[in-house]
Amino acid sequence: MKREYDFRIAGLRSLDSQDIENAKRVKRVRSKLLGIAGGFTEINPGVCTDLIPGAGLGYVVTLPSREKARELDLALRKLSKDLGLEAPKPQLAAAGPRHNYSFILVPEKANPVPAGGFRRPLFRQLRWAKIEAALGRIAARRVEFVYGEWLPSRSARTAVQDDSRMYVVRGASPAIKKDLIRFIRAEIFDKGIECDQVCIYLSCGGIPVFVTER
């Protein structure tokens, strides 16, 4: 079973073109995470620190085994030493503060048309407002904006890059998971009218779920 791991890297700030050295460090970390985990979600310093404690940029990755988690741990230790940063300790999300929380990631933009081309906003503002009003009854906090990259296949060399809206919900029980899957299918998917996503990422207590329209 795939599980999520999370950590923060103290000393890493949000990507800022004015800070060239910080930008180089962030890009090296992103590249390493892509190579090992095939993707990541990056959370800004000061955001969701109750769920991912610590200072610096936060990361969530999905890994298939404890062996892969050990590989990530060793790689981050070496990379942190090279960058002159304190090495983070990836934690199993299901055993940490996020064990009783869920979150949904919804990309800000639709898939590029043609491939590599223009990307329209995934939803009009009225639709975003409707989604957030419907989710507002159970959301644990305001919507957060996060960055992510992932490789669409094991053989892919170019990562998909997305800014996403992250909706955090208190609870991760089987009933809440079922309700959130139902919510995604009813409120986010729309038979391709606006939403062109193959799946939407849902995390329940540190366990990833890739929700499809049906």
DSSP secondary structure letter of residue 139: B
Identify the CATH assignment for 99-211 out of 2.30.30, 1.10.287, 3.30.70, 3.40.50.
3.30.70
Per-domain boundaries in the chain: 3-95, 99-211
Question: CB–CB of 71/171 below 8 Å?
Answer: no
pLDDT in tens, 107-162: 999 988 876 688 999 999 999 999 998 887 777 778 899 999 998 765 556 778 99
Segment 9-26, tens digit of pLDDT? 999 999 876 899 999 999
What per-residue confidence (pLDDT) applies to 28? 97
The two three-digit tokens of residue 137, written as one number: 């009854």
- Does this chain's domain 3-95 share its CATH topology with 99-211? yes
pTM score, whole prediction: 0.93
Query: Within a 10 A sphere around the Cβ of 1, how many other Cβ atoms?
Result: 6
57, 148 Cβ separation under 8 angstroms: no
pLDDT of 75: 98
- Angle, helices 20-37 vs 66-83, to 10°: value is 160
Top CATH class, 3-95: alpha beta
Burial grade of 71 (CB within 10 A; 0-12, 13-18, 19 or more): middle
